[in-house]
Every structure is written in C-alpha cells, then in structure tokens.
C-alpha cells in the first residue's frame, strides 16, 4: 500500500484465532491462499494487489506460505532496490488513461518475482519465521523514515532502540538484510529521488533535506546505488534517456 493508506485488517490464523491489525501506508501484506481475511478502509487509498498462482510461486519457496506477513515496504526495498522503482512505475502507469494491458501484466510479473524473492531472502528459515515485525524494530524503522535529515548514526539509533551498538547491528541486519548505515543511506537516496522528481528543489536543497552532509556526498551514493547522478532524476531529465536504474 502506498503512503497515506490506513485500514483495519483482520485474518484467521492456522489455529483459528482472529487477528486484527491497523495497516498504514508503504507496507507489504502477504496473505496465503485460502486464508480468511478482511479489510475495513478508513479513507480512500491506492493499492497494488497481486494474485499469485500456487504453481507459479512454488519454485521460490522451500514450502507453502502458511503465515500472514505484514512488513514495511522499506525492508523489501533494502533487500531488492528495484522493488521501489517498480512500485513508482506502477503508480505512474495506473494514472494513465488507457494503460496497455500487456505492460501492466509484465510489470506485475516482475514486481511479484522481486517481492517473493526478497521475502524468501528476508525469511530463509521457512514459513514459521514469516511473522509480523516486532514493535520495537518497527518503531525504529519508522523513526528513521521520519528523521532522515537528523542524526541517524549507529550510536544515535542504538540510543533510540535502547540496545548496544553491536547488538543493534546484528538485529538490524536480521530484519532488513543490511546494517544500519547502508540502510539509512538507501532510505535517503529513495527519499531524495522522490523529492527530485517533483522539480520543487535543487539538488543541493534535496541533499540537505534528506540528511546528506553535502551535494557531493549525495552524488556519490546515487552513483553507487542508481548508476546515475541526482540530476538525472530532475523532471527535465526524464525524457532524454539519462534516467538511472537501481542495480538488481
């Protein structure tokens, strides 16, 4: 679900218990086939919904997906950055008046492939590990999203989480696939790309807004992660073939 969405979700566990949870934007909700579930929306929202055939998904997983999973989208983007690009492409495509059906289908297949692969990479030990992210880690990831321009050094994050720096590094890597600083830099680049595309800020202003020390600092991370400089994401650069892509 893209940012801004809010709803009450409910589902039945394998043991027959009913679980309810408030879902907010920028999340990935995976529901196994045949699992009873419901959604009650609090306001209008935009969603990307993918229905996956059991036979299609089988080669990706060590066993059947049997547990409901609710995770921040940022976890999947950290594991496979192309997921963020595809979601943005879907958002733009769905705003077109008559999008080509073949284009939508192809984009959906690529997104499903990347999401399932990233999911299995994040939770390699099987379905019983595909659980909801514990509240403290979810709060820490939310804190990062809300404070990209602030001090997000490992010592600062350890203080927020109430953990030692070494233990935070281990726990953080287990949950996101990255240690804290690479994760923070990826989130800053993702936010910077979004701001640059609006055309409302200069490259230097965006660097400041998302927490890079200066413009060259942001430029270096863009070239490492996107194979393109920040200026490639300004509106005037969209149609000249200079637009970068994440490394898969």
Mean pLDDT of 170-196: 87
β-pairing, 6-12 vs 18-24, is antiparallel
pLDDT for res 101: 81
Q: Is the pLDDT of residue 126 over 90?
A: no
Residue 39: which H helix or E strand, with range?
strand 37-41
Consecutive H or E run containing 29: strand 27-30
> Greater confidence, 134 or 196?
196
Per the DSSP assignment, residues forming a β-bridge with 71 are 28
What is the predicted pLDDT for the residue at 217? 94
pLDDT in tens, 115-124: 888 887 776 5
CA distance 48 to 26: 11
What is the reported pLDDT for 123? 66
Tell me the pLDDT tens digit for each residue of 196-219.
989 999 999 999 999 999 999 999
As a whole number of angstroms, the distance between CA 184 and CA 189 comes to: 9
Q: Token digits for 129?
A: 């590990």
Between 93 and 15, whose confidence is greater?
Answer: 93
Q: Which domains does the chain have, with CATH numbers?
A: 6-129 (no CATH), 135-237 (1.10.10.60)
In contact, 218 and 185? CB cutoff 8 Å: no
Average pLDDT (11-15) is: 79
């Amino acid at each position: 679900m893209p940012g801004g969405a809010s709803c009450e979700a409910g589902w039945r566990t394998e043991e027959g218990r009913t679980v309810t949870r408030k879902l907010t934007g920028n999340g990935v909700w995976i529901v196994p086939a045949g699992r009873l579930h419901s959604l009650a929306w609090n306001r209008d929202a935009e969603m990307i919904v993918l229905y996956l055939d059991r036979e299609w998904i089988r080669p990706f997983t060590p066993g059947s997906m049997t547990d409901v999973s609710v995770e921040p989208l940022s976890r999947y983007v950290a594991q496979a950055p192309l997921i963020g690009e595809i979601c943005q492409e879907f958002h733009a495509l769905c705003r077109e008046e008559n999008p080509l059906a073949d284009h939508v289908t192809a984009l959906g297949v690529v997104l499903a492939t990347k999401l399932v692969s990233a999911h299995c990479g994040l939770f390699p030990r099987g379905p019983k590990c595909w659980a909801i992210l514990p509240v403290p880690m979810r709060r820490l990831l939310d804190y990062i999203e809300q404070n990209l321009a602030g001090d997000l050094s490992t010592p600062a994050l350890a203080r927020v989480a109430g953990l030692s720096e070494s233990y935070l590094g281990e726990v953080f890597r287990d949950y996101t696939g990255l240690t804290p600083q690479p994760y923070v830099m990826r989130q800053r680049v993702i936010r910077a790309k979004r701001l640059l595309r609006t055309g409302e800020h200069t490259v230097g202003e965006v660097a400041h807004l998302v927490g890079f020390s200066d413009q060259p600092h942001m430029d270096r991370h863009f070239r490492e992660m996107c194979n393109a400089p920040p200026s490639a994401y300004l509106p005037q650069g969209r149609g000249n073939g200079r637009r970068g892509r994440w490394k898969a």
